[in-house]
Amino acid sequence: MGEFRLSTGALNDAIKAYREMPRNADRVEVDPGSSGERQPLSTTKLDAIVDSLGAASQALAAGCQQTVYGLFLIHDDKQR
């Protein structure tokens, strides 16, 4: 049986940074892909993105023990 420790601390730090960066920008634009030109991202969509990242951060913290910030992925030796 193989085991791999997935460190969620670094992932959570990245999520926190991605939540803060848009808030510190003077404006946020998006490339919708169809026109090839960037357009302003609406406040509603930006808020939804930041809220989702916050929920992801909370889920990572809730899924880990107080002193262990990681997940242990275990693979049985049987073939899939």
Give the start-end residues of each E strand in 8-78.
29-30, 39-40, 70-75
**pLDDT-based confidence at 4, cuts 50/70/90?**
confident
Report pTM: 0.69
Q: What b/e sequence results for 39-72 when a residue is b if at least 16 CB atoms lie within 10 Å of its CB, and e otherwise? A: eebeeeebeeebeebeeebeebeeebeeeebbee
Note the pLDDT tens digit of each residue in 9-68.
788 889 989 999 988 899 999 988 877 789 999 999 999 999 999 998 888 777 776 555
- Give the per-residue pLDDT at 75: 83
- Give the per-residue pLDDT at 69: 64
- Give the per-residue pLDDT at 68: 59
